[in-house]
Amino acid sequence: MLAKTVRIVPQARAAIVERFGKYKGTLPAGLNIVVPFIDKVRYLIDLREQVVSFPPQPVITEDNLVVSIDTVIYFQVTDPVTATYEIANYIQAVEQLTMTTLRNIVGGMDLEQTLTSRDEINSGLRGVLDEATGKWGIRVNRVEIKGIDPPPSIKDAMEKQMRADRDKRALILTAEGQRQSAILTAEGNKQSSILNAEGDRESLILRAQADREAAILRAQGEGQAIQTVFQAIHDGQPDQSLLAYQYLQMMPKIAEGSANKVWVIPSEITKAMEGLGSSIHEIAGIPKDTTPRKRVDMGPSEPQLPRRSDDPEMAATNAAVQQAIAEAEIAAKPGKSLPSSADVAGPADPADPEAPAAP
């Protein structure tokens, strides 16, 4: 009697009590007292939120393709009495309602839209289920699409399409890379050609300038050497006897060589030999006067490179040099008037903008 009188209902549960087969009341969680043999606990309802996963259901899309869709339903019993007496099996009812609603929603979509519109399908299922299960004392909190599986042929076609798309993007990227590489290579070759041409031009210009300066220095050196030899001859003041002796020294060189069987003695040799013993006779072309002569001006000892005539600094330097030479000549020969700087510098160049104007 005590065991049938006392009933303990767990937390988040509700017990439905019937008296003689008729609904008597709902026992809450905790310790409850019932009349033994008269009241009977018929159902124990779970009031917590429940999760039910339904098996894959074949659904036909708008473009006549069969896809399998798995759904998950999150629901909660809000009225135990209604959930007990209004429907026999609310879980099976929710499953069948989900299947029919899902077929109705997906039937208006094509395959691509079905695969990309999960949120739209979830919202449509939740709205229909919540409206239909409200009278059963059940509230649908959430509906989720767990998986959408297209047919194997469609999977192969989609994989081929994605593979072709990836290959296309790869070819496009490769072509763009080759194009950029060719452009950069052409630009590099262009810059290299320009730099090589500029380098060759500068090299030719510098080489031409070096050859010109070398030729100028060589000519100035040869001129300086000729002036030195000429000055040495004048400083030595050769007489008749010296030149006759030089003629005699040349005779052995004339006779050198095994092929020289016959050689001709110049007529000047006889006269030179006569002049070697006596200075009375004269040889044509040999000066007889040995008095000191005027020294030849040899010019600057250092080679001078030509400079532009319109260089003001060069003109001033030339004027100073000429003035110094004139002063040296006046010091060597007293009584000669000193020329002015304008006379030394020479006539003004009409093309020179910095030349002093004529009075």
pLDDT digits (tens, 9 = 90+) for 246-294: 767 776 776 666 665 665 666 666 665 565 555 434 444 445 554 444 5
Asked if residue 353 has pLDDT above 50, the reply is no
What is the average pLDDT across 107-127? 86
What is the average pLDDT across 7-19? 89
Asked if residue 320 has pLDDT above 50, the reply is yes
% of the chain at pLDDT higher than 90: 12
How many CB atoms lie under 10 A from the CB of residue 236?
9
What is the DSSP pairing of strand 138-149 with strand 39-46?
unpaired
How far apart CA 312 and CA 105 sit, in angstroms, is 100
Q: Which residues contact 275 (CB under 8 A, 6 or more apart)?
A: 240, 241, 244, 281, 282, 283, 286
**pLDDT attached to residue 266:** 61
Longest dimension (CA), the chain: 189
- Say which residue the tokens 């001709």 belong to: 264
Segment 49-108, tens digit of pLDDT: 999 988 888 888 888 888 888 889 899 999 999 888 888 888 888 888 888 888 888 888
Segment 177-202, tens digit of pLDDT: 999 999 999 999 999 999 999 989 98
**pLDDT attached to residue 281:** 46
Q: Tell how many helices (H) and how many strands (E) occur in the chain.
A: 10, 8
Contact 80, 45 (CB under 8 A): yes
Average pLDDT, the chain: 77
More confident residue, 323 or 162: 162
